[in-house]
Chains A and B, each alone.
Chain A
Amino acid sequence: MRPILMKGHERPLTFLKYNRDGDLLFSCAKDHTPTVWFADNGERLGTYRGHNGAVWCCDVSRDSMMLITGSADQSAKLWNVQTGAQLFTFNFDSPARAVDFAVGDKLAVITTDPFMGLPSAIHVKHIARDPSEQTGESVLTIKGPQGRINRAVWGPLNKTIISAGEDAVVRIWDSETGKLLKESDKETGHKKTITSLTKSADSSHFLTGSLDKSAKLWDIRSLTLIKTYVTERPVNAVAMSPLLDHVVLGGGQDASAVTTTDHRAGKFEAKFFDKVLQEEIGGVKGHFGPINALAFNPDGKSFSSGGEDGYVRLHHFDPDYFHIKI
């Protein structure tokens, strides 16, 4: 395959997200402007200007009309996807990290980093159908975990919120009361910071990637560990194919060590694993630096990766990919 290279960001990529139809790709980077691209040919559709810091995460509503972004400028913003206009700004006292729309797009979860003595927190916000009625009040605020919360997503039927972060523990919270329901086991769980978390297409299980050089597959309800994928590099990003039983891990050594390492030895490939057999299927090379973000097109026929090198690489699979046998 010949990947499409998209050079719209001047700083390392942080997050990638496809909309539900798979025709738009949203990219967030440490520069201040999230960007939307056409996912088939990589043409840039627009940028969302207004943030004043690195943008860590984004999510798009099911109808692809609204975008939410979380940024290090201590705010999360709602955007009109079509025009790039700012609809609302949620202001916090510390940098916003993860954002996720609930099913139905009526709620959103936003996490904030520990900052200036403030602990990290998970905020649940009500999202108004009409942006003019939007308020900044939190429906629920959960405090508790130590360290940064790198990802927070909604569980099945919006009943739970799943969070993971620097303390290497996956937690499931009640989204109504804010009570801690489940915690991942210290023995079987990750040993280092969890950098990424992604749900399967049917939301029955989810995958976490960690700097302990492994990725783990969990049941979303019982939080039982299903599979572990071991690699030789810290995992920065994970993705799951919605079409095949494939898992993609992206990573590489620390950004600080990039210039001192040969790119061939740096393990900057996106590694494909068989979801069931936990065996490596192959690697896709290309980035000059660690991969920070991975996303699968909802149709399962293409995926994109964003790297520390500031490039988004959009890969449309060759036909033989769909017939790979171990």
Chain B
Amino acid sequence: MAMNRPGYSNPAQPSKLRWGELEEDDGEDLDFLLPPRQVIGPDENGIKKVIEYKFNDEGNKVKITTTTRVRKLAKARLSKRAVERRSWAKFGDAVHVDVGSRLTMVSTEEILLERPRAPGTKEETKVAGDSLAQLGKGGAVLMVCRTCGKKGDHWTSRCPYKDLAPQPESFVDKPVSSETNATSGMTKGAYVPPSLRAGAERPAGGGSDMRRRNEENSVRVTNLSEDTREPDLHELFRTFGAVSRVYVAIDQKTGMSRGFGFVNFVNKEDAERAIAKLNGYGYDNLILRVEWATPRTN
């Protein structure tokens, strides 16, 4: 309880008073003038009061009351025998262990109980955390056939109802990059995959067909929160009508959502209603912006 008062200097070192030594070298102790420390409680609620007196920087007497709540640690019980065992002498190889051997270490890595899926999500989004299983399944995250609208059963390219679709198409499911490119439109200077470049060999009308398809009743959703995933978006838009495709742009490096996505509706009216309803809708603390994916000419 040794306090430093300004203007007072230690007689042992009158000339230079080092700040580092102030604490210890302050010889004068006026604590005996103070009333003793008082401890009240803990009462039945575990509230404990400690009243202390000390001199503050100006040399005035101050009363400090500290109120704390004392709680017993959750069942930190140990049997008598276990306590006794704690003091057992080491034996066997444990007797002479070099200090540096470090047999017992606390992991530097924080290990979490990894949930197979985020808590609260539905069964349909279940993906095993195992990379092998994923390889086998071919990424069944959101397998929506764009031809028949069937979910999780097959990819568009393998659709058994392909022949029944209005336009037989030579479209083969392209990796995400080509899809985004097609949907977000070709801006100048943006990367164009070789298959879409002018003069590239491709089945007549194939690329444009794909583009047209993706534009069809496509709704762009922006200002999505980072943890919005495709199933969430699907959940949100499903109420307006049959949804044929949901896509959320994911940053390849971080794996986080880039904050925008696309939803394709089977019916144009549904898309219109969704835009009318959800544009400006508060979702996950953010205000959604929902609009047609491409500027409509009509």
Whether B90 contacts A46 by the Cβ 8 Å rule is yes
Q: Interface code A306-326, partner B: CB below 8 Å = 1, 0 otherwise? A: 000000010101100100110
Shortest C-beta distance, A170 to chain B (Å), equals: 28
Shortest C-beta distance, A292 to chain B (Å), equals: 18
- B85: chain A residues at CB < 8 Å are 23-24, 64, 82
Q: In whole angstroms, how far apart are the Cα atoms of A23 and B86 in the complex?
A: 9
Q: Given A7-B105, A33-B92, A232-B128, A283–B82 Cβ distance below 8 Å?
A: no
Q: Given A7-B105, A46-B92, A283-B129, A64–B113 Cβ distance below 8 Å?
A: no
Q: In whole angstroms, how far apart are the Cα atoms of A279 and B75 in the complex?
A: 30
In the complex, whether B32 has a CB less than 8 A from a CB of chain A is no
- B94: chain A residues at CB < 8 Å are 35, 44-47
- B97: chain A residues at CB < 8 Å are 44
Q: Interface code A1-37, partner B: CB below 8 Å = 1, 0 otherwise? A: 1111111100000000000011110000000010101
In the complex, whether A286 has a CB less than 8 A from a CB of chain B is yes
Q: In whole angstroms, how far apart are the Cα atoms of A24 and B78 in the complex?
A: 12
Interface residues of B in 260-293 (CB under 8 A from A): none
Question: Which applies to chain A's interface (DSSP): helix, strand, loop or mixed?
Answer: loop
Which of A47, A299, A313 is in CB contact (< 8 Å) with B93?
A47
Q: Which chain A residue has the least Cβ–Cβ distance from B135?
A: A265
Shortest C-beta distance, B127 to chain A (Å), equals: 12
Q: Which chain B residue has the least Cβ–Cβ distance from A37?
A: B104
Q: Interface code B90-109, partner A: CB below 8 Å = 1, 0 otherwise? A: 11111101000011111111
Which of A7, A22, A232, A325 is in CB contact (< 8 Å) with B132?
A232
Which of B102, B111, B114 is in CB contact (< 8 Å) with A3?
B111
Shortest C-beta distance, B85 to chain A (Å), equals: 6
Whether B81 contacts A21 by the Cβ 8 Å rule is yes
- B255: chain A residues at CB < 8 Å are none
Shortest C-beta distance, B78 to chain A (Å), equals: 7
Shortest C-beta distance, B184 to chain A (Å), equals: 33
- A48: chain B residues at CB < 8 Å are 92
In the complex, whether B19 has a CB less than 8 A from a CB of chain A is no
- B116: chain A residues at CB < 8 Å are 280-283
In the complex, whether A264 has a CB less than 8 A from a CB of chain B is yes
In the complex, whether A179 has a CB less than 8 A from a CB of chain B is no
Q: In whole angstroms, how far apart are the Cα atoms of A232 and B132 in the complex?
A: 9
In the complex, whether A137 has a CB less than 8 A from a CB of chain B is no
Q: Interface code A263-287, partner B: CB below 8 Å = 1, 0 otherwise? A: 0110101001000000011111110
Shortest C-beta distance, B187 to chain A (Å), equals: 37
- B1: chain A residues at CB < 8 Å are none
Shortest C-beta distance, B109 to chain A (Å), equals: 8
Whether B130 contacts A45 by the Cβ 8 Å rule is no
Most buried by B among A6, A47, A321: A47
In the complex, whether A185 has a CB less than 8 A from a CB of chain B is no
- A281: chain B residues at CB < 8 Å are 113, 115-116
- B14: chain A residues at CB < 8 Å are none
Whether B114 contacts A265 by the Cβ 8 Å rule is no
- B102: chain A residues at CB < 8 Å are 7
Whether B104 contacts A41 by the Cβ 8 Å rule is yes
In the complex, whether A49 has a CB less than 8 A from a CB of chain B is yes
Which of B82, B86, B107 is in CB contact (< 8 Å) with A2?
B107
Shortest C-beta distance, B57 to chain A (Å), equals: 42
19 A-B pairs whose Cβ atoms sit less than 8 Å apart in the complex: A1-B110, A1-B111, A3-B111, A5-B105, A8-B93, A21-B79, A23-B78, A35-B92, A45-B90, A46-B91, A46-B92, A48-B92, A49-B92, A49-B93, A64-B85, A267-B132, A283-B114, A324-B113, A325-B119
Besides A232-B128, A264-B131, A313-B107, 4 more A-B contacts (Cβ < 8 Å) are: A2-B108, A24-B85, A265-B132, A267-B130
The 10 closest A-B pairs by CB, nearest first: A47-B92, A46-B91, A23-B82, A84-B91, A42-B104, A282-B113, A47-B93, A46-B92, A84-B92, A21-B82
